[in-house]
Amino acid sequence: MPELPEVETVRRGLLPVMEGAVIARAEVRRPDLRWPFPEQMAERLTGARVTRLARRSKYILAELDTGETLIIHLGMSGRMLIAGAPTPGVFYHDEVVPQKHDHVVLHMDNGATITFNDARRFGAMDLAPTDGIDRHWLIEKLGPEPLGNAFSETYLAEALSGKNTPIKSALLDQRIVSGLGNIYVCEVLFRARLSPTRKAGKIARARTSALVPIVREVLSDAIEAGGSSLRDYRQADGELGYFQHRFQVYDREGEACVTPDCSGTIDRITQSGRSTFYCPQCQR
């Protein structure tokens, strides 16, 4: 599942061809993905100008001059592919080559074509009033953005106070902080030298507070690298993300810990049905 860095990378790739442009024609080629598309989605998108392209957690938000916002969730295998970009050579695809799993196609008035391709159909699109977007059922319960000011040392310490769940599970709780997923929480906890099994509410406040800059550092590094490509994820220009080459613990079971003078090896355990990778010697 693409996490915040992957979604932010896709948003930045779409920005030059989508923000400020008009959707000259929208094609919706099936009635649903993970959930049914909103009624008359193609008609409601056609002729609308994208006034702002934003992101909330793992959702891309295309604000329209019609007073609605197009909510895009990539799901497990969703990709936003760009062809015919107005600046030659900027994007990987020079022409539109229809694929089997092209479900929504946006023909922009600047000559670009944006295609939502999703082989597993776990992605989603919806339209909602822009002035009520924070009350949309996909968004209303999300915690603060980890790269925003609301995600502070004081906030996180108070949010985790009294929690009896493991710190790994707490950081994956989208109500506490939005956008973090399995990969980046593993990397964050390694850099913080915190065991993923520690009870969140029993960690010293100083160590809890120290997680905030580490979360921001890991996410910023991942965005700079274009995200992590493990299976289906690609950037909007068709290129792979490269942060997987910087993993220090994730997917490195049995390998030597990268910490200098540490003789430990990376272990894998299962927490809430997900694989957790960590160094039992470094992380306490």
- Residues with a known catalytic role: 2-3, 58, 274
Q: 158 with 250: CB under 8 angstroms?
A: no
Tell me the HSE value of 242 on the side-chain side, using a 13 A CA sphere.
Answer: 4
CB 159 within 8 A of CB 176: yes
Neighbours of 129 (CB within 10 A): 12
Burial class (CB in 10 A: 0-12, 13-18, 19+), 202: exposed
β-sheet bridge partners, residue 79: 117
271: which 2 tokens?
A: 């927490």
Distance between CA 192 and CA 55 in Å, rounded? 27
Parallel, antiparallel or unpaired: strands 59-64 and 68-73: antiparallel
